């Protein structure tokens, strides 16, 4: 504590204090600058391509794209196949993950301190840390190899669902912990059956908290590319069959990135993806802040 | 059987799915990895050979393990000053102010940007920039990957340390102020020591995130199956080699990639476990 003891060096100490504050502010601004830089870049390069047609037409082939680029025109077509693919897989993943996640969260809340619940909670935490590409491998080995016998939307959904599950479990338990115990006790005292206390009182009371968790989980998996490369593969046609290869927005970005003729489409596709993710994210934040 | 009992059984059996899932994952990964470990033995981890030529296939994961550790460590070092400053901004200097709320939201949004968008940005913006300032003459490789990874993990490191820093008791800080400390001195001698283990845990969890990041690294590291020998050398990480080579893989190669997935699973599990343990000890 040498520097604190001196009284004669107040000038230096105040200067140090100021410099440190300046440094903190500067570095904090540097920290958040990428988000602004990235969004501006996406808007600047992507807005021209983003039209109604981009949303409802399917992907152009390489030849069409090449001709358009050669004539200095906008590349025709859109990414409807990818948008529908993302929708299909995310909805399917949610259908799998949300009920299991919420019920597991309720179980953990109802069995605080018991070893089985602790084990489940720890395992769920471990699952949350598993890299998404490993989940892709898992779904490949399980679904692609044994269920759909080929790359498929279902396989993609399974990998996304495994990713969503621990997030929903955690947010459900955390939300329930914040609900006053008296509410549950009042329900039980009135003789309401246990399951109705859980799903008729606790869940509706914590609805906005659960919603926040679900929206954040969805916004996280919408942008996932790696597991889908190993499972859904991608497709240039609109596909609604869950046992067939399916495209997704991040997957077409990867395709465009690797195809010199289509590379102009990466910005508009990324812009669209970014808008979707931001809407989910900010809605979740909004719901969460209104709770407080 | 009454309905309460049924409810309990349903809760229990549904939540058991997670355990089955985790058990099944370990089982499948180990099962898929067996052929390559049988062929190469322990050498799979220590060999730097990666040769898919048919007939004399040779797979070793060392270059990818090295690439993963180097890029993630680099990301941690780069992100440290940034996220440390940001958590002081949010948790100490401007706690509960409007500007902190805006900044905090922006930091959270950094975590929402999809990995592939980071990759595009790194490739089309950061790479040319690094080349133009003469920092790096090819723009691919370990350094660029670490830089983008650093940005990606900042939210994870920041959110925990910010929370811990803002929880440091006020009377501790006030005692130091009353002795005539400047704010910097309070932070240095009171806040940071008190929040140390939480900050540390935050960085460990962020490191765990960096280990498994796939797309951004795949687009920036240059995909060379060798041990990076300098900061600007190209390489490959465990996640990126799976993403890159999975498409054409079957037989022994597929097993080798699954083995890498298993290793990645184990390494991230250990790193996250350590982080969680520190957090648990604190509370």
Neighbours of A266 (CB within 10 A): 26
Give the pLDDT confidence of A220-247 residue by residue, as tens digits.
999 999 999 999 999 888 888 999 999 9
Angle at CA B103, nearest 5°, toward B158 and B171?
A: 65
Bridge partners, B59 (sequence order): B50
Query: How many whole angstroms separate alpha carbon A131 and alpha carbon A136?
Result: 9
Give the pLDDT confidence of A32-62 residue by residue, as tens digits.
999 999 999 999 999 988 888 899 888 888 8
Residue A67 lies in a domain: no
Query: How many whole angstroms separate alpha carbon A150 and alpha carbon A144?
Result: 5
CB B33 within 8 A of CB B255: yes
Verify that A25 and A102 share a domain, yes or no. Answer: no
ipTM (interface predicted TM): 0.94
Give the pLDDT confidence of B23-51 residue by residue, as tens digits.
999 999 999 999 999 999 888 999 988 88
Residue A62 lies in a domain: no
Verify that A286 and A166 share a domain, yes or no. Answer: yes
Residue B244 lies in a domain: yes
Query: How many whole angstroms separate alpha carbon B85 and alpha carbon A23?
Result: 8
CB A141 within 8 A of CB A159: no
Smallest Cβ–Cβ distance between B15 and the set A37, A104, A285 belongs to: A104
Q: What is the CATH number of the domain that holds B150?
A: 1.10.3720.10
On average, the pLDDT of chain A sits at 92
* Residue to substitute from B8, B23, B25, interface A, most A β-carbons within 10 A: B25
- Which of B96, B112, B180 lies closest to B151, judged by CA? B112
A207-217: average pLDDT: 94
Bridge partners, B50 (sequence order): B59
Q: Is the predicted pLDDT of residue A82 greater than 50, yes or no?
A: yes
Cβ pair B265:A131 closer than 8 A? yes
Verify that A42 and A86 share a domain, yes or no. Answer: no
- Scanning A182-221 for CB atoms below 8 A from B yields 193-195, 198, 219-220
Q: Is the predicted pLDDT of residue A268 greater than 80, yes or no?
A: yes
Cβ pair B117:A138 closer than 8 A? no
Angle at CA A255, nearest 5°, toward A250 and A257?
A: 95
**Predicted confidence band at B86 (pLDDT cuts at 50, 70, 90)?**
very high
A159-163: average pLDDT: 97
Q: What is the CATH number of the domain that holds A118?
A: 1.10.3720.10
Give the pLDDT confidence of A110-132 residue by residue, as tens digits.
999 999 999 999 999 999 999 99
Tell me, what's the pLDDT at B280? 87
Verify that A154 and A18 share a domain, yes or no. Answer: no
Say which range, A55-59, A207-211, B165-169, has the weakest mean pLDDT: A55-59
Distances (CA, A) of B21 to A158, A220, B18, B174, B269: 11, 20, 5, 50, 15
- Long-range pairs for B224-231 at CB < 8 Å and ≥24 separation? B225/B50, B225/B63, B225/B64, B226/B48, B226/B63, B227/B48, B227/B62, B227/B63, B227/B66, B227/B67, B228/B66, B228/B67, B228/B70, B228/B141, B228/B142, B230/B142, B231/B74, B231/B141, B231/B142, B231/B143
Verify that A127 and A182 share a domain, yes or no. Answer: yes
What total number of domains does chain A contain? Answer: 2
- Which of B19, B17, B25 lies closest to B258, judged by CA? B25
Tell me, what's the pLDDT at A66? 85
Q: What is the domain range of residue A227?
A: 82-291
Q: Which residues of A touch B90 (CB under 8 A)?
A: 28
Query: How many whole angstroms separate alpha carbon A198 and alpha carbon A173?
Result: 12
Residue A121 lies in a domain: yes
Cβ pair B11:A103 closer than 8 A? yes
Verify that A129 and A264 share a domain, yes or no. Answer: yes
Residues belonging to chain A:
292
- Scanning B91-150 for CB atoms below 8 A from A yields 93, 103, 105-110, 112-121, 123-125
Tell me, what's the pLDDT at A1? 47
CA A179 to chain CA centroid, Å, is: 26
Verify that A36 and A114 share a domain, yes or no. Answer: no
* Helices (H), ranges, chain A: 2-5, 10-46, 52-56, 62-70, 80-110, 115-129, 132-139, 145-146, 153-177, 181-189, 194-196, 203-205, 207-222, 226-231, 249-258, 265-291
Q: Is the predicted pLDDT of residue B135 greater than 60, yes or no?
A: yes
Antiparallel, parallel or unpaired: β B50-51 and B58-59: antiparallel
Q: Which residues of A touch B119 (CB under 8 A)?
A: 257
Residue recorded with tokens 């440091």: B168
- Which of B151, B127, B130 lies closest to B221, judged by CA? B127
Greater pLDDT, B188 or B134: B188
Q: Is the predicted pLDDT of residue B220 greater than 70, yes or no?
A: yes
Cβ pair B116:A123 closer than 8 A? no
Q: What is the domain range of residue B211?
A: 63-251+276-282
Please name the residues in contact with B113: beta carbons below 8 A apart, sequence gap of 6 or more. Answer: A35, A38, A223, A274, A277, B152
Residue of A nearest to B108 (CA): A281
Distances (CA, A) of A247 to A77, A78, A89, A263, B138: 15, 13, 9, 17, 32
CB A89 within 8 A of CB A153: yes
Q: Which residues of A touch B108 (CB under 8 A)?
A: 281, 285
Q: If you compute the radius of gyration of chain A from its CA atoms, what whole number of angstroms results?
A: 25
Q: Kindly state whether B252 is in contact with chain A, defined as any CB-CB distance less than 8 angstroms.
A: no
Two structure tokens written together for B33 = 């990895």
Give the pLDDT confidence of B110-121 residue by residue, as tens digits.
999 999 999 999
- Scanning A62-91 for CB atoms below 8 A from B yields none
Query: How many whole angstroms separate alpha carbon B263 and alpha carbon B26?
Result: 11
Tell me, what's the pLDDT at B17? 96
Query: How many whole angstroms separate alpha carbon B232 and alpha carbon B139?
Result: 8
**Predicted confidence band at B249 (pLDDT cuts at 50, 70, 90)?**
confident
Q: What share of chain B has pLDDT > 90, as a percent?
A: 81
A186-191: average pLDDT: 92
Query: How many whole angstroms separate alpha carbon A86 and alpha carbon A273?
Result: 10
**Predicted confidence band at A8 (pLDDT cuts at 50, 70, 90)?**
low
A128-156: average pLDDT: 95
Backbone phi and psi for residue B58, each to the nearest 5 degrees, phi listed first: -145, 120
Cβ pair B85:A220 closer than 8 A? no
Q: Kindly state whether A276 is in contact with chain B, defined as any CB-CB distance less than 8 angstroms.
A: no
Neighbours of A182 (CB within 10 A): 9
B239-268: average pLDDT: 92
Verify that A229 and A275 share a domain, yes or no. Answer: yes
What total number of domains does chain B contain? Answer: 1
Verify that A4 and A95 share a domain, yes or no. Answer: no
- Which of B280, B246, B205, B265 lies closest to B22, judged by CA? B265
Cβ pair A4:B189 closer than 8 A? yes
DSSP letter at A233? B
Residue B263 lies in a domain: no
Verify that A31 and A156 share a domain, yes or no. Answer: no
Backbone phi and psi for residue B236, each to the nearest 5 degrees, phi listed first: -155, 145
DSSP letter at B224? -
Verify that A101 and A200 share a domain, yes or no. Answer: yes
Residue A53 lies in a domain: no
**Predicted confidence band at A292 (pLDDT cuts at 50, 70, 90)?**
low
A136-140: average pLDDT: 96
Q: Which residues of A touch B183 (CB under 8 A)?
A: 17, 20-21
Verify that A120 and A251 share a domain, yes or no. Answer: yes
Q: Which residues of A touch B15 (CB under 8 A)?
A: 103-104, 107-108, 120
- Long-range pairs for A67-76 at CB < 8 Å and ≥24 separation? A69/A261, A69/A264, A74/A48, A74/A49, A75/A49, A75/A262, A75/A264, A75/A265
Cβ pair A226:B276 closer than 8 A? no
Q: Is the predicted pLDDT of residue A5 greater than 60, yes or no?
A: no
Q: Which residues of A touch B185 (CB under 8 A)?
A: 3-4, 13, 17
Query: How many whole angstroms separate alpha carbon B35 and alpha carbon B252?
Result: 7
Size of interface A-B (CB pairs under 8 A): 240
Residue recorded with tokens 């109802």: A110
DSSP per-residue string spanning B98-145? HHHHHHHHHHHHHHHS-HHHHHHHIIIIIHHHHHHTTS-SS--SHHHH
């Amino acid at each position: 504590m040498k520097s604190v003891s001196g009284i004669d060096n107040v000038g230096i100490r105040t200067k140090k204090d100021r410099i440190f504050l300046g440094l903190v502010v500067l570095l904090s601004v540097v920290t958040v600058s990428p988000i602004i830089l990235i969004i501006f870049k996406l808007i600047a390069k992507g807005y021209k391509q983003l039209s109604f047609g981009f949303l409802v037409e399917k992907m152009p082939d390489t030849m069409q794209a090449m001709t358009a680029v050669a004539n200095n025109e906008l590349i025709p077509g859109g990414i409807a196949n990818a948008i529908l693919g993302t929708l299909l897989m995310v909805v399917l993943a949610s259908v799998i993950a949300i009920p299991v996640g919420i019920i597991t969260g309720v179980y953990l809340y109802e069995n605080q301190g018991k070893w089985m619940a602790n084990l489940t909670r720890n395992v769920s935490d471990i699952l949350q840390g598993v890299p998404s590409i490993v989940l892709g491998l898992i779904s490949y080995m399980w679904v692609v190899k044994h269920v759909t016998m080929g790359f498929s939307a279902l396989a993609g959904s399974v990998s996304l669902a495994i990713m969503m599950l621990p997030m929903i479990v955690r947010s459900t338990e955390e939300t329930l912990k914040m609900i006053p115990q008296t509410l549950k006790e009042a329900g039980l005292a009135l003789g309401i059956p246990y399951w109705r206390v859980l799903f008729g009182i606790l869940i509706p009371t914590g609805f906005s908290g659960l919603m926040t968790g679900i929206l954040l989980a969805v916004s996280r998996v919408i942008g996932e590319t790696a597991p889908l490369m190993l499972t859904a593969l991608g497709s240039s046609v609109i596909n609604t069959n869950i046992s067939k290869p399916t495209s997704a927005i991040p997957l077409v970005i990867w395709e465009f990135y690797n195809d010199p003729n289509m590379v102009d489409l990466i910005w508009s596709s990324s812009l669209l993806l970014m808008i979707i993710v931001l809407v989910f994210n900010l809605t979740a934040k909004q719901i969460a802040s209104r709770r407080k | 059987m009454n309905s309460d009992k049924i409810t309990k059984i349903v809760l229990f059996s549904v939540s058991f799915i997670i355990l089955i899932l985790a058990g099944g994952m370990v089982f499948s990964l180990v099962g898929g990895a067996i052929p390559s470990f049988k062929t190469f033995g322990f050498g799979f981890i220590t060999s730097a050979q990666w040769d898919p030529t048919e007939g004399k296939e040779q797979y070793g994961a060392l270059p990818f393990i090295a690439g993963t550790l180097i890029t993630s460590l680099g990301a941690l070092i780069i992100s440290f000053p940034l996220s440390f400053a940001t958590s002081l901004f949010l948790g100490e200097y401007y706690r509960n102010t409007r500007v902190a709320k805006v900044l905090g939201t922006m930091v959270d949004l950094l975590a929402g940007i999809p990995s592939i968008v980071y990759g595009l940005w790194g490739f089309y913006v950061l790479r040319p920039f690094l080349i133009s300032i003469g920092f790096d003459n090819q723009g691919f490789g370990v350094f660029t990957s670490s830089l983008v990874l650093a940005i990606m993990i900042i939210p994870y490191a920041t959110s925990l340390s910010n929370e811990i820093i803002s929880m440091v008791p006020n009377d501790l800080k006030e005692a130091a102020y009353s002795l005539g400390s400047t704010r910097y001195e309070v932070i240095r001698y009171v806040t940071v020591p008190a929040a140390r283990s939480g900050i540390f845990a935050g960085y460990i969890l962020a490191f765990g995130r960096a280990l498994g990041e796939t797309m951004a690294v795949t687009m920036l590291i240059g995909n060379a199956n060798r041990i990076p020998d300098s900061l600007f050398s190209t390489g490959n990480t465990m996640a990126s080699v799976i993403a890159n080579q999975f498409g054409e893989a079957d037989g022994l190669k597929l097993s080798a990639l699954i083995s890498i997935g298993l290793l990645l699973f184990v390494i991230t599990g250990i790193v996250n476990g350590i982080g969680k343990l520190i957090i648990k000890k604190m509370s």
